[in-house]
């Protein structure tokens, strides 16, 4: 909905905070309920984590 995964991922990397110290969450939308694994994989790819 916000289409900001790339920016959030970049901010995580640029922050220099160790990745294991950051808990990342995202949403899947009702249109993605049929294939949540694909939705999650797409979000993680966009986030770069």
Task: Report yes or no: 46 and 9 within 8 Å, Cβ to Cβ.
Answer: yes
Tell me if residue 2 is catalytic. Answer: yes
pTM reported for the whole predicted model? 0.73
Q: How do residues 9-41 score in pLDDT, each as one tens digit?
A: 999 999 999 989 999 888 888 999 999 999 999
Active-site residue (options: 1, 2, 3, 25) = 2
Sign of CA dihedral 37, 26, 3, 14: negative
Task: Report yes or no: 47 and 5 within 8 Å, Cβ to Cβ.
Answer: yes
Tell me the backbone φ, ψ of residue 12, rounded to 5 degrees.
-60, -50
**How much is the pLDDT for 17?**
94
């Amino acid at each position: 909905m916000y289409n900001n995964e790339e920016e959030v991922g970049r901010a995580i990397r640029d922050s220099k905070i160790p990745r294991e110290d950051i808990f990342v969450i995202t949403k899947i939308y009702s249109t993605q309920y049929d294939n949540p694994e694909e939705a999650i994989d797409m979000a993680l790819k966009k986030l770069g984590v």
